[in-house]
Chains A and B, each alone.
Chain A
Amino acid sequence: MPFTTALPATTGVRWTLVFRQAVLEATAAFALALLLLGPIVGLVLDGYEVKNELQRPLLIAAIIAIGRFLVALAMHTPAGQAMLERFNARRRQPGVLVVSIPESNRQRWWLLVIIALALSLPFLASKYWLTVLIQAMIYVLLGLGLNIVVGLAGLLDLGYVAFYAVGAYGLALGAQYLDLGFWSALPLAAMLAALFGCILGFPVLRMHGDYLAIVTLGFGEIIRLVLNNWLEFTGGPNGVAAPAPQLFGLEFTRTAKEGGVPFHEYFQIAYDPTHRFIFIYLALFLIVCLMVVVVTRLRNMPVGRAWEALREDEIACRALGINHVLVKLSAFMMGATVGGIAGVFFATYQGFINPTSFNFFESALIVAIVVLGGLGSTTGVIVAAVVLTILPELLRAFADYRVFTFGVLMVLMMIWRPRGLIRPRRRAFEVKGLCP
């Protein structure tokens, strides 16, 4: 680390040294930038010819070198040194924070403000932003579900999208074959997803780490391929239509199907297609809030503690009389249930689903949400899910670079914040009269 080496006391000599170091680092940055950008920016393919435009990478590399030089100098000013010190201090802190209850009470006001904001948003936003918000909520739900499996129980699941697909197809096929409505399909699809979680859970219980990741990856692909190829049952690549939700039998369509009453006629207001999305958003928001409460309580329950203990040390868990098979299975099933619920909402919001929505990239995205948010941190997962769905919409102009940015973001996060955006917190316990 060039910045932390003790420098001679005399300012004149010191700045000469700093200057020389900065020039060296800038030169290195220049060379690297040229090496990297030369072929990418410098050689332009025009028709069948390759044109040589080397002045462009030179210019960019020069800008980078100057920037590097200025940063190197700035790091030696008192302000820069202080920043560096703060940065290093944070890295030395333990990864997990233990907080007592009164401190977390202060956050209640923030929570109220956020809930009020979230409830008023759909009435202010346009239809386009409403769909973005719904998508963000669905990813929050998926993140919360996968967080149980990956963050709490420590089982890396790369095929989580399978449960999402089971939920979505549960609604669509349930409506097609069994004539189920949205609200009756919701619990049934969640249970179906839990069943699939159980089916996946049994064979993988004896696996750890990498092996588990590969098996779950395979499982995710199996589900997608079955949905894609079982033409008679699932409609294959053509997909299936999913029913829209109803509010106590009121439909959100312009004209109702046989005997039904549309929402706008019942309340005698003008028809507006956004009503459907507002309703989905509010229902989804309710479910997300419920899930946050459930997950928070689960963490403090015996089963939640057993999940975390299993993540920390499986052998010790077995030595404490915990049936690791059942505990793992419960984590898988709980995660799958939440995934299934998210799938139902996805299907009803899209109105139509096909297997392309459930490819591996979705799984990777959900894993990224959990990892970026901080494994095990509920707040972190929510923030990460919202950021990762809303940011791409804000940066539509750079849509081509979305996956690239994503990769860079992941690399940077792993370097600077390997534990995620939000540091995981643990509750401190106190007992009256027994505390020291």
Chain B
Amino acid sequence: MTIDPIHPPILEVAGLTMRFGGILALNDISFEVKQGSISALIGPNGAGKTTVFNCLTGFYKATEGQIVLHTPRAAIDLINILGQPFRASDFINPAAFADRLYYKMFGGTHRVTRAGIARTFQNVRLFKEMTAIENLLVAQHLQLNRHLMAGLLQTAAYRQSERDALERAYAWLKVFGLAEDANRLAGELPYGHQRRLEIARAMCTGPRLLCLDEPAAGLNPRETAELSELIRRLRDEHEVTILLIEHDMGLVMGLSEHIVVLDYGEVIADGDPRTVAHHPAVLAAYLGTEAVNDDES
């Protein structure tokens, strides 16, 4: 793959393989996401889309392969920061050993978020018994003054940090049209609002790449159209790259600039919406044609 100088990739996935025991869930997946783009990951049920997401966001440790996130400062190997088992060579090379030990002790999913990837979930996972604004405050955890003594003594710096967090949270609620719901419990909000609140919460972590897992699931057509507009606005105004999984083809085709199609854990097509929509393998995967079946055998 050649590197486009104007749109450098923000995320590179190469040879990603995921095995659950004897089941090969993902087989040698490679794709890249360009900076500032809206990309989509589609495929029939059980194709492995959510597995890819879970590997990207650190919920699964990939069996093989590389996932690299490019940040202005450095390229981060997302699999390394999850903490890997020791290898024989580590016991000779102390630097590698120390590195691995560090990530084994302090690495984990949260590191991926700190590197700049935020995600939402297929089934909304809000903190239901906390208010909407508190949900957003929790998401800002890392940007706040977390010093125990500062908080207990309510120092000026601590109060300033809390005030800033509150203002940021309100600002995000406004972007998502949820300002009225600020002090309501997240679990009581209507479903559409909960979906939006979850995206707002992900944005509060200050991500460079936002991964949305079926953001339009359960929304009515009007809400879906609003969501599509919102996602585009996030990309344009808030400098975030978006990668989404979605079954609503209308939304995917209208919104995304780049589509990766998965089937049975493999990438079967990769390109802009027009090419993908007419790709024979994609048509075969969704509709099933004999010609392609012959082709494969």
A residues contacting B by CB (< 8 A) are: 94-96, 98, 100, 294, 297-298, 301-303, 305-306, 308-309, 312-313, 315-325, 424, 426, 428-431, 434-436
Contacts and interface: CB of A to CB of B under 8 A. Distances in A.
B170 A319 contact: no
Contact of B108 (A306, A325, A436): A325
A301 B119 CA distance: 24
A98 B166 CA distance: 17
A190 to B, nearest CB: 14
Interface stretch (B66-74, B89-97, B182-190, B272-280): B182-190
B106 A323 contact: yes
A317 B240 CA distance: 21
Contacts of B133: 429
Interface string B114-156: 1000110100011111110111011101101110100110100
Contact of B109 (A95, A312, A318, A434): A318
Contacts of B154: 297
Nearest to B158: A301
Contacts of B146: 301-303
Nearest to A334: B148
Given A303-B146, A303-B151, A321-B113, A95 B129 contact: yes
Nearest to B120: A319
A98 B121 contact: no
A82 B178 CA distance: 37
Interface in B145-178: 145-146, 148, 151-152, 154, 163, 166-167, 170-171, 174
Contacts, number: 132
A96 B185 CA distance: 8
B37 interface: no
Contacts of A303: 146, 148, 151
B57 A302 contact: no
B276 to A, nearest CB: 28
Contacts of A428: 131, 183
Residue of A317, A319, A430 ringed by the most chain B CB atoms within 10 A: A319
A424 B188 CA distance: 16
B183 A318 contact: no
Interface string B194-229: 000000011001000000000000000000000000
A309 B151 contact: no
A94 B184 CA distance: 11
B131 A309 contact: no
B145 to A, nearest CB: 8
17 contacts: A94-B187, A100-B183, A294-B152, A297-B151, A297-B154, A298-B151, A301-B146, A302-B137, A302-B141, A302-B146, A303-B151, A309-B130, A312-B128, A317-B138, A319-B118, A319-B119, A320-B205
B185 A98 contact: yes
Contacts of A318: 58-59, 108-110, 113
A94 B108 CA distance: 35
B108 A308 contact: no
Contacts of B201: 320
Nearest to B188: A94
A39 B158 CA distance: 66
A436 B185 contact: no
A305 B138 contact: yes
A145 to B, nearest CB: 16
Contacts of B145: 302
Nearest to A426: B131
Residue of B114, B138, B187, B205 ringed by the most chain A CB atoms within 10 A: B138
Contacts of B130: 305, 308-309, 312, 426
A324 B111 CA distance: 11
Given A321-B111, A429-B166, A431-B167, 8 more contacts: A95-B129, A297-B154, A301-B146, A308-B130, A315-B59, A319-B202, A320-B205, A424-B129
